[in-house]
Amino acid sequence: MEKDYQERDSYKKIVESATALFSTKGYRGTTIKDITAGAGLAVGTFYLYFKSKHELYADIMENFARGLQKHLDGCGAGIEDVVERQVQYIISFIRYAFENPACYNLIFESLYIDKKLFFDYYHKYAMRYVPFIAKSPDMSKEINPAVWSYISMGIGNFLGFKVIAEDDCSEEQLKIIEDTIRKILEEGIRVD
């Protein structure tokens, strides 16, 4: 849903105001009037860009997904080893989630606002990595690339929760997480 007016100041103000309000007051607790007041704009300005609050929410989700993907692509660029690439993606996601804790509020609230929006967000995100995983010579042919992508995404999500819940994104904490993920991905969890 890339819009040609995303560079306009009014659009940005609406999106920033809505993102902050959705993150703190929730979708249902936020009105269009709240959003435009927070943006310092008249209510009518909202309708120049969006037909509804739901359309704005979907736009914010898509922008967030695009921004996160751009961030992660930069972190994984040039890493061919599938394990090391996944480790770096997960660590990068954890850092991003810690620095942007509102992302969890927005994503998970979408489950109750529009299940399709929630599931589409995760499905698109997971499927984006399937071609890389499928062609990786390091990946066992017995592992389904789509299933692996969802597993990896789940690992990142819940480790992000851990770091936010403990309010600890120190380098020491990240090193422990990184080493543990790498060991599990390379060796598995079975004790001989």
pLDDT in tens, 104-150: 888 889 999 999 999 998 898 888 888 877 877 777 788 898 998 89
Which residue spans of the chain are classified as CATH 1.10.357.10?
A: 52-187
pLDDT, greater one: 49 or 2: 49
CB-CB contact of 127 with 149 (8 Å): yes
Superfamily of domain 52-187: Tetracycline Repressor, domain 2 (1.10.357.10)
CATH 1.10.10.60 segments of the chain: 1-50
Region for residue 185 given its phi and psi (left: phi exceeds 0; alpha: psi -120 to 50; beta: otherwise)? alpha
Q: Cα–Cα distances in Å, from 123 out to 1, 115, 127, 188?
A: 17, 12, 6, 25
Q: What's the pLDDT score for residue 6?
A: 52
pLDDT digits (tens, 9 = 90+) for 143-191: 898 998 899 889 999 999 999 999 999 999 999 999 999 999 888 877 6
Q: What is the model's pTM?
A: 0.80
The structural architecture, per CATH, of the domain 1-50 is Orthogonal Bundle (1.10)
